[in-house]
Amino acid sequence: MSESSELTLFMDPYKIEFPSLVKEVLSQTSKNMNICATLTPQQQCVLLCSNVMYVWTCSNKSRVVPHAFRLSLPATGLRYYANSVCVFKKSDGRVSVAAVAPSVLAVSPEGYLRYWSDAGKPSRDQNINLQNDVAFSICLIESLGHLDRFLLSTATSSFYIVEIFHSMSEQSERISVRALEMDTPDGIGRRMSKMLFGYATERESVTKTIFVKGRLKTRMWTS
């Protein structure tokens, strides 16, 4: 006889003050607009509206109305999602992390990178040849004193390592992109797989699984 367990979730409202710019955008949105939002672990609010991104610090302690940065994303004919952008704080040792505006790295579905060393300063662009693939997400996986390392994934389960090398001058910062070869025996892709999933035996194989949630049930495809 199996025992049933119940899980009760409670949601409490969290009242914060929205920037005036964000209020104006939300008041003018329609049902047909591409809009999504997320909250980072560093308490950075992100609002994506078509090809424009708004980012500000989430806080209910300050009595001052927060300021939102308005950032133009690379032009695209497809849709941006919350996992298309990564908001982070650089740790290059020059100033306190809490004292600077957030850094932002965004990728368009076509593979165009746009990097803001400081959300209030001009951006830098770099193109990635995805070979007709579509970018799915980008996330920060490692932050060192001189570089920040990101993992870019695509819709066909291809991966790219994006590295931003910092220097004393923001104009000298360098962006490096390389494909993550998963089938190379001694490649970085295989080493990361071992680190994340352990060593595979000869009888083990890799299975790609896709979960699609619908109204009736959750479906699964494997290949």
Condensed to tens digits (0 to 9), the pLDDT of residues 195-222 reads: 555 655 555 555 554 444 444 454 454 4
**How high is the pLDDT of residue 95?**
42
Contacts of 154 (CB under 8 A, 6+ apart): 130, 133, 134, 135, 136, 160
User: What average pLDDT does range 83-95 have in this prediction?
Assistant: 75
Question: Is 38 within 8 Å of 82 (Cβ atoms)?
Answer: yes
pLDDT reading at 177 higher than 90: yes
**How high is the pLDDT of residue 157?**
87
pLDDT reading at 137 higher than 50: yes
Strand 209-213 and strand 218-222: the pairing is antiparallel
pLDDT reading at 82 higher than 50: yes
In the chain, the amino acid numbered 97 is: V
pLDDT reading at 169 higher than 80: no
Share of the chain above pLDDT 90, in %: 40
Average model confidence (pLDDT) for the chain? Answer: 79
Question: Is 202 within 8 Å of 215 (Cβ atoms)?
Answer: no
30, HSE (Cβ side, Cα atoms, 13 Å):
2
Q: Any idea which of 84-98, 102-116, 153-167, 192-206 has the lowest mean pLDDT?
A: 192-206
Question: For residue 11, what are its two tokens?
Answer: 């949601």
Which residue has better confidence, 8 or 145? 8
Query: What is the three-state SS of the chain?
Result: CCCCCCCCCCCCCCCCCCCHHHHHHHHCCCCCCCEEEEECCCCEEEEEECCEEEEEECCCCCCCCCCCEEEECCCCCCCCCHHHEEEECCCCCCCCHHHCCCEEEEECCCCEEEEECCCCCCCEEEECCCCCCCEEEEEEEEECCCEEEEEEEECCCCEEEEEEECCCCHHHCEEEEEECCCCCCCCHHHHHHHHHHCCCCCCCCCCCEEEEECCCCEEEEEC
pLDDT reading at 92 higher than 60: no
- Is the pTM of the predicted complex or chain greater than 0.85? no
pLDDT reading at 7 higher than 80: yes
Q: Any idea which of 102-106, 126-130, 168-172 has the lowest mean pLDDT?
A: 168-172
Which residue has better confidence, 9 or 151? 151
Read off the pLDDT band of 31 (50, 70, 90): confident
